[in-house]
Structure 1
């Protein structure tokens, strides 16, 4: 019985002579045919001969192509329709026009295209034999969508995976200039906001400007809004006048922004500041109502933010806790003892980082907005300068500020503007100095602040 099972599926012919005659064809089909003879082995074809395919042209192997890609899949292998920034997602080449050989997969290439830009090959995963790859969108990428391609020779739009990139709201908060209403200073904060749109958010669908409106004229607000929307038609421009309005917008949105659907991913702040205070109305009649303090931090709903939001404060001393009056002196210098009073780990910047799990960039020193109009002689930029009438503009008390603000020209009743916004970002100021370091510092939850 065991021997029968062993030979099951075999045909064994044992004969002295085997003759096969047919008027048409004798067809033998098998996975393997073996002929063993002791003497001679004859195959004769009287008319057409014996055909071993030698009369046909050799067929080239079928060119290998990718037919289908799948993804993106998150860390739980769940397929998603929207990807978040700074998170890894998996993409898979799941179908080919024939079974690929291992060595052929070494020629498999991958590419990515953001928005309507040209496709770029992903060199780190191309030609490595990978049928699956992981990919993430970096934090500073402002694209709204991407496509992933897998191919051997050239990318094909029909063999790609398109997906949306989650775009958290970019909230640009603009303070007033009531401390030094000079020709160049008056519009320096909104000029920085317009520059941000120009440099970073032209295509962002949810980049919005909140501006404290005290002492800005209706004409100024109209022109600022106009120029921001020229750069990005989707910009939402919202005048406000108190920190309470700011907190309410962050927490709840408004008729235009549905906060349950649109979380905040980035905040950029251009305003005056004091140690651990964002002073959106410094020296103005509504100054107290326009100050964001440590006590306001816990009023912010964590649910209003994306995971790990980013905050840039270009206000003075957001990362500094030393509020002594003496430090207001521009010539003040920290020594080995007084430097201990700065306590960046207790600052507004650190409190924001802890409360909403944000990465916060802020200064320990004052910030310097002199660079706003430092055009470096750029002819195209300079050709766009304009002035906006403003009866509040006057000569500031500090002659140095006056020279900086007017670029050497005495101007009254006019404010400087450029439709392209500021030319350069603010920089770290020179005061207070001594042992207090300049530059931006990074504040993160559970970490010691470090210089950028």
Structure 2
């Protein structure tokens, strides 16, 4: 290190027990306009120059890197070079470099440095979405070369997009608007659920004219959100008229695996063609139409046996289904009974019910969409339960409010 020391002032005083001036490669010049005074209580000694041994500094190394042990793809994390082999000057800390290793690949180097804060150096690192299929990320801080003992290894966690697709039959047929509103009610209930995360859960209500459109539509949503490898299905719903062989599209004939002599329902060979990669936690498939969940080898039970519905809870109606403001009681209005008013007020559900109970279910109260539990229990018929199947086994029998209720 070289440089010039300049002291300027009217009077400069230095006091110490011992003062030594060394010029290791030059002269010491005392220059005064008047006098240079050298005084001593003992003697003034003049000797030849003796070289001063330079104090050797210990190499500066990063000894410890701190950071998370798990990182999520798409998020940013802070890593810290927290300990060093000796006390480091701020200028030395500016020389800390950073590098990383993905799985067992080659070490790669960051171009930009970290930030010196106090006696440590921090670096913010964004976990790129391209790391979704990698397992580990190792981050190094160093002065000369990256070393494993000055690194932190993180497990790379990828949270896939979870699709919730509520299909509804959209054709010029009685109840068309009802189908759309039932799907919209489910969408709203999902988005108001305490588990819903807009960054993870993507909810859509695709209209269809024939049931086999589902086969072609599902892959389009995989593509929309980055590809099948990055997307799983949390829920499939089908809002439609239905029967013992599943959902019905009355006006549009099915081209892929139609039921023999009745091309308005899709046979099992069509349902098993749907490309479905299900979410690991609590995936469901719900058929809201009439008689879709009858026991004794009914439609929902048969669907639950298909390989592409393995470990999925498949729900269906145990009886005919009717419109209602509530998922657990059958409550309707005079306007709705006449086929209008679905999109004007309240929520819309298709719930199980018995024939001939339409008048019992009709409410003339102005607040029919906000009735309390006591009034519902006293004045209106309970909804018939839905049946739930998993891998061909009947696992649950309860009303739709179990998973779909705007009051929760």
Superposition TM-score tier, normalisation by shorter sequence:
0.3 to 0.5
Relative to the length of structure 1, the TM-score reads: 0.39
Relative to the length of structure 2, the TM-score reads: 0.43
Between structure 1 and structure 2, the one with the greater Rg is 2
Q: For CA contacts below 8 A with separation 6 or more, give which structure has more relative contact order.
A: 1
